[in-house]
Amino acid sequence: MGECRVSVCVCVTALHTHTHTHTQSRALVFYSTYSEEQLQPCVKKIARLIVAMPTSKQQAIKKKYSEKKFLQVAKFEALTSHIVRTLAATS
């Protein structure tokens, strides 16, 4: 999977967690030229990684992104939202 597609998947996942709608992700999908169907497996995998974060072996990554330098993104409440858990649970 190309880096561009992974980047788009991260953006789509972020939009889902913050907006609770698909409107902006549709625009992102349109301009990225990837269909939602092409992105769904990657979005779900990212959601599973986010849900597993508290118990994962990569705690250094969580620690790094908990620092102010990286805007403490690892501490965002959206990472534990119902939407992320739902995306992670779907196959």
- CATH number of the CATH domain containing 49: 1.10.472.10
Exposure string of 78-89, with b = 16+ CB inside 10 Å and e = fewer, is: ebebeebeebbe
User: Considering the chain, what is the average pLDDT of its residues?
Assistant: 79
User: Is the model more confident about 70 or about 39?
Assistant: 70
70, burial (CB in 10 Å: exposed 0-12, middle 13-18, buried 19+):
exposed
Q: Is residue 41 scored above 60 in pLDDT?
A: yes
- Taking only the tens place, the pLDDT of each residue in 49-86 is 888 988 888 899 889 989 999 889 888 888 888 888 88
Q: Is residue 12 scored above 90 in pLDDT?
A: no
**CA angle at residue 38 from 35 to 40, to 5 degrees?**
105
pLDDT of residue 68: 94
The residue segments making up the domain with residue 73 are 3-89
Q: What's the domain count of the chain?
A: 1
